[in-house]
Amino acid sequence: VAAAAGVSASTVSRVIRKHPDVGQETRARVLGVVDGLSYRPSGLARALASGRSPTIGLLVSDIANPFYPPLAKAIEQRCRKLAYSVVICNTNDDPDTSVEYIERLLAQGVEGFIHASAGPDENAVLAALGDPRRIVFANRRPRSTDVSYVVSNNVGGGRQLGEYLIAQGHSLIAFLSGPPWASSSAERLTGLAGAVEQGGGEMLVAQGDFTPKMAVQAVTTWLERAQPPTAFVGINDQVAAAIYVALTESGLAVPDQAAVAGFDNVEFAWSAAVPLTTVGQRTETMGRRALDILLRQVRNPTQRLTFQDLPMDLFVRNTTDLRRPTRKESPTPSEMAQ
Amino acid sequence: VAAAAGVSASTVSRVIRKHPDVGQETRARVLGVVDGLSYRPSGLARALASGRSPTIGLLVSDIANPFYPPLAKAIEQRCRKLAYSVVICNTNDDPDTSVEYIERLLAQGVEGFIHASAGPDENAVLAALGDPRRIVFANRRPRSTDVSYVVSNNVGGGRQLGEYLIAQGHSLIAFLSGPPWASSSAERLTGLAGAVEQGGGEMLVAQGDFTPKMAVQAVTTWLERAQPPTAFVGINDQVAAAIYVALTESGLAVPDQAAVAGFDNVEFAWSAAVPLTTVGQRTETMGRRALDILLRQVRNPTQRLTFQDLPMDLFVRNTTDLRRPTRKESPTPSEMAQ
DNA sequence: GTGAAAGCGCTAACAT
DNA sequence: ATGTTAGCGCTTTCAC
C-alpha cells in the first residue's frame, strides 16, 4: 500500500473510509500521497474484507420491453451518484433464471436486488435469497406480505380508464389481459371492470401475455360478434398498438368507429403517428423509491419493510377522443418526470 | 472450507475450477460433500485471488433510448450463459461520467467494457483504461485505430436509402443529423448525400442531436422554403417519428405529399400506427460479436484486434411508399433476428 | 490518534 | 494426483 510514502498502513484505510478517528494533519498528508501515486483502492479486496460490494441486481423479465428501460435508467442514475453499480438480469419470466442470477450475484457479494418482474419465480427467489430484506419488488406486486414493494395503484388506474370510456359513451369494452399470475394484469382488470359495470357497461376479456402476439386473433374474434365492442384496451401500450393495427386493418377507423387504450405510457405511446390514450405509471419514481428502500434495508438491520402504491395517470390522446385535434394537450412522459 | 468433510483444501479449489489434475474418485467425493453442505464459493475471494471477476461494463449514452435495450439484451443473454454479469453504465455522452465508471469498475475487477456510445469521451476512456484490449466499441465507430469495434456500415445504409428515395422520384431531400462528433451521423449523411447527388438530387441538412427536440423547428424552416423538400430523413427513428408528426401537423399528408424515413428500425418503427420506413441495424449481431471479441481479447493476450462492419437493411414501409397497403410485407425486428 | 496483527475465502506456485 | 505455503489488498479488533 501507499503507506510507505507516508506514515502507516491501516491509517490509510481509515482515511479513505473517512473514519473519524484520524488526525487532521495525517489525513492531509495521506490524501496528498494517495493521488500523487495514482493509487487505486481495490474494490475487490475491500468487498472481500468488508463483506459487501456496492452493487445491486435489477431483475426484469425483458429489458427490451419498452417499459423497463426508463425504470432501469432511473435506478442507474441514482446508483451512480452513490457509487453503486447495477447489474441487469433478464429473467424472461423463468424462475430458474431468476434463481441462477440471485445465487451467482449473492456469491459475488451484491448487497441486494430490485425485482421489477415478480411472477412465477417469487417463491423460488425469496428462498434463494434467504433474507427477504435483501430485495424490494417493483412494478408487479408480490404475493408474499413479508417483502417491501413499490407498485402502481393498478386498480385505480384501471378504474380511471373505465370511467373515462363509459363517459365517452362506450358500453361494451374489450380487454386483452396479461398472464394470470401477473398482479398488474388482474388489478387493472378489477379496476376497469368495476368502473364499467358500475357505469352500466359490459366487459369482454381475452387472455394474452404482455406481448402483441395475440392481438390480431383477439380482435378478429371480437369483431365476429353480432354486437362487437366499441372500445378496446390492451394490458400495456404495445398490446394496445397491436390492437390498433388489427382494427385499422379490419377497416375500422380509430377513434371514429373504435376506441383504443393501453397502460404504461411508454415513450412510443405519444410519438406514435396516432398518439395512444393510456394510463401511465410513474416509472422513475418507482425506480428511485425501490432503490432507496433497498439500500435502507440492507444498511440498517432494524429498518422496517415498506409498501407503497403509486398513483397512475390517465393520458387522453387521439385513439379515443375525436375532439382532440392536436397532440399538444397531453404531456409527454418526460414532462411528467418529477 | 468444506475440506474438513472430505480430504484436502486446495483440491476442492481444483475440483470447482474443473482443473484436469484431479482423481476421478476424489472429484466425486468432493462434489458430493459440496452440495451436501450447501456450500457457496465466494466469487469475491475468487476474484481477489485470481485478479478477475466475470463481469463486463456496458457503456451506453442512454439506456432509455430505444436503440440500446435490444443491444443490451443480446449482450446480457450471451453473458448469462457464460456466467458473466453485465453492469449497465449510462454515460449521457458525458466524458467525466464514462471515466468515472471505468475507474470504478476497473477497481471492482471487471474484465472489460463494451462501449456502444463512443463520442467526445473516446480519448479519456482509452486513457482511463490503460489497455485498449479491455474494450470493444460498438455502434459508433471509434476514431482511434487501435481498438476493436463492431459497427454498422452506415455509409452503405445511407446510400441504400438515398437510392431508394431517388427511385421514388424525390429530388430534394432533407436530413436532420446527429451531433458532429457522432461517426454514425456523418457516415449516414455521406452515404445518403452521395446517392442523392449521383441521382441528380439535392440535400438539405440541419444539425440535431439524436433527440426529437429539433424536429419541429427544422421542419418549419424547411417548409418555409419556396421549394420545400419532398422527402425527410431523421438520423434515427425517434427523430423520424417527430418529423412525421411535425409534417402532419403542418397539414401535409404522409406519404402522399411528403416521405419520411429513419434509421435503426427500432421496435416502435413498425408498431407505430403508420409504419415507418427505416434502415435497420443488426443490433443483436452487433452485441454478440462485440462481447465475443472482448472476451477473446481479455483472455488471450496475443489476440489481435478485430474490426467489423455489419450490413444495414432497408425496410420500406408506409411513410414512403403509397403502393404499400398492408404492413405484412416488411419483417419486424424480431423476424430479422438471426 | 495510530500501529500491529489477524484474517476475509479463495488461487497459485511449489513440493511431494 | 494431492497437500503445503504464501499471498491477493483490504478491514478490523486490539493494544499502545
Closest-CA residue in chain B for A87? B87
Residue B337 has pLDDT above 50, yes or no: no
Report the alpha-carbon distance of residue B54 to residue A9 in Å, rounded.
30
* Secondary structure in 3-state letters for A248-267: HHCCCCCCCCCEEEEEECCH
Cα torsion through B223, B226, B227, B229, rounded to 10: -20
Mean pLDDT is lowest, of A95-99, A113-117, A273-277, for A273-277
Report the alpha-carbon distance of residue B170 to residue B164 in Å, rounded.
9
Mean pLDDT is lowest, of A264-268, A279-283, A289-293, B179-183, for A289-293
User: Which one of B63, B99, B106 makes the best mutation probe of the A interface by having the most chain A beta carbons within 10 Å?
Assistant: B63
What are the residue ranges of helices labelled H in A82-214? 95-107, 122-129, 154-167, 183-198
To the nearest whole Å, the CA of A249 is away from the closest chain B CA by: 8
Report the alpha-carbon distance of residue A84 to residue B104 in Å, rounded.
9
Residues on chain A touching B327 (C-beta within 8 angstroms): 245, 249
Report the alpha-carbon distance of residue B280 to residue B314 in Å, rounded.
6
Q: pLDDT per residue over A37-68, tens digit each?
A: 778 888 999 999 988 899 999 999 999 999 99
Residue B176 has pLDDT above 70, yes or no: yes
Report the residue from A43, A89, A101 with minimal CB separation from B108. A43
CA A229 to C1' C8, whole Å = 65
Q: pLDDT per residue over B230-277, tens digit each?
A: 999 999 988 998 898 899 889 998 888 999 999 998 877 766 656 678
Decide which of B317 and A195 is more confident.
A195
Q: Calculate mean pLDDT across residues B193-213.
A: 95
Helix B122-129 with B95-107: angle, nearest 10 deg: 20
Question: What is the rounded average pLDDT for all residues in chain B?
Answer: 86
Residue A176 has pLDDT above 70, yes or no: yes
Residue B204 has pLDDT above 60, yes or no: yes
Decide which of B157 and A301 is more confident.
B157
Q: pLDDT per residue over B28-77, tens digit each?
A: 888 888 878 778 888 999 999 988 899 999 999 999 999 999 999 999 99
> DSSP string of A191-250?
HHHHHHHHTT-EEEEEE--SSGGGHHHHHHHHHTSSS--SEEEESSHHHHHHHHHHHHHT
CA B147 to C1' C12, whole Å = 32
Report the alpha-carbon distance of residue A280 to residue A269 in Å, rounded.
10
Q: Calculate mean pLDDT across residues B183-198.
A: 95
Q: Calculate mean pLDDT across residues B149-153.
A: 90
> In this predicted structure, what is the pLDDT of residue B301?
75
End-to-end CA distance of chain B: 45
Are the beta carbons of B278 and B263 closer than 8 angstroms? yes
CA B9 to C1' C8, whole Å = 16
